[in-house]
């Protein structure tokens, strides 16, 4: 999820036949998997991009489930199956998402253990390049952060995700980046600063806190999804779709589409009903009414006799 100045790209909305081919054959799968990956009205076809949207400026390869399987990618194992969250600098209480909430959501979404690491300083680390953005404060270079993070990968880690309330950029030509990950090294970093009500000239209240938590959970899952080798989705409105701006990312759902869900399940091997029940509990606790209603529909489809 990022914003850059790439050349315009031509995107064609996929047909239903192309979507079915992207999911792959389901007839030989167990019934629960057939129901989980079936294309239903619960999943909306990806829309054509507006001029400022991601797919108007970035040409993505169309990764199907079969092409995903053919591509080398990270797999959780019995000795390396834990997602670690690494705070970069302090998270002031009430000024950002609660780390415990992020931990709970990631655990429910991926069906893997999620643990917190002791935070490390960002601003005082001379190995990390930075630049000033005037009144908006400092920005930190993601590639330098990712190099530093390589020294904080536990032996049992599937991946390590760095989170910060500082702004980020991936190279000089970019205005900013929400997050960046390298699945080869199993480390990623992302910023919640631009999700803060203060950054957007708003006050803190129940609605803006809920919106910030949703955005933070969304980018957490999106970037971690790249660790599994899942590329940007071009099939459905999906949490793995690329995003150029907040309006675009806010329009994306919190769920994975049938194609991306099948990719994720092939790696994480979670139980669908258990996963959806945990997500439902999280959504209801935090007042995510639209997401809760969607998950209830999915549970009904999975459990109908």
The β-bridge partners of 189 are 162, 180
Q: Which is catalytic among the residues 104, 166, 223, 248?
A: 223
Residue/partner pairs of 79-82 with CB below 8 Å, 24 or more apart: 79/155, 79/156, 80/155, 80/156, 80/157, 80/158, 81/112, 81/113, 81/156, 81/158, 82/112, 82/113, 82/114, 82/115, 82/154, 82/156, 82/157, 82/158
Dist. CA 200–CA 197, nearest whole Å: 5
Residue 153 CB neighbour total at 10 angstroms: 18
The angle subtended at Cα 55 by Cα 53 and Cα 56, nearest 5°, is 65
State the Cα–Cα distance between residues 102 and 97, nearest whole angstrom.
7
CA dihedral over 210, 211, 213, 218, signed as positive or negative: positive
Distance of CA 184 to the CA centre of its chain: 17
- Whether 291 is catalytic is no
The first and second tokens of residue 62, run together, are 């169309």
Q: Exposure string (b/e) for 215-224, b if CB count within 10 Å is 16 or more?
A: bbbbbbbbbb
Supply 174's token pair.
Answer: 């970019």
- Residue 143's H or E segment, with its range, is helix 142-149
The DSSP result for 194-238, as a single string, is GGSTTTTT----HHHHHHHHHHHHHHHHHHHHHHTT-----SBS-
User: Catalytic residue positions?
Assistant: 223
């Amino acid at each position: 999820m990022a914003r850059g100045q790439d050349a315009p790209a031509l995107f064609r909305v996929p047909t239903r036949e192309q979507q079915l081919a992207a999911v792959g054959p389901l007839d030989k799968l167990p019934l629960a998997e057939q129901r989980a990956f079936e294309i239903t009205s619960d999943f909306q076809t990806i829309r054509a991009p507006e001029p400022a949207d991601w797919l108007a400026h970035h040409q993505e390869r169309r990764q199907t489930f079969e092409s995903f399987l053919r591509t080398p990618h990270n797999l959780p194992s019995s000795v390396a199956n834990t997602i670690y969250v690494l705070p970069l600098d302090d998270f002031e209480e009430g000024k950002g998402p609660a780390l415990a909430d992020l931990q709970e959501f990631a655990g429910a979404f991926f069906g893997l253990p999620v643990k917190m690491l002791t935070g490390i300083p960002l601003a005082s680390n001379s190995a990390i390049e930075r630049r000033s953005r005037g009144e908006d404060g400092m920005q930190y270079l993601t590639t330098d952060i990712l190099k530093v993070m390589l020294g904080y990968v536990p032996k049992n880690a599937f991946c390590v995700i760095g989170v910060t309330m500082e702004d980020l950029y991936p190279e000089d030509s970019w205005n900013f980046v929400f997050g960046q990950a390298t699945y080869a090294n199993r480390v990623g970093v992302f910023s919640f600063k631009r999700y803060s009500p203060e950054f957007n000239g708003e006050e803190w209240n129940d609605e803006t806190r809920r919106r910030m938590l949703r955005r933070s959970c969304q980018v957490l899952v999106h970037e971690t999804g790249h660790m599994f080798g899942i590329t940007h989705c071009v099939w459905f409105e999906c949490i793995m779709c690329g995003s150029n701006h907040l309006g675009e990312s806010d329009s994306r759902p919190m769920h994975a589409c049938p194609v991306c869900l099948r990719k994720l399940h092939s790696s994480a091997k979670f139980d669908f009903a258990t996963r959806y029940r945990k997500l439902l509990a999280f959504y209801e606790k935090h007042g995510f009414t639209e997401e809760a209603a969607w998950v209830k529909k999915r549970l009904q489809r999975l459990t109908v006799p």
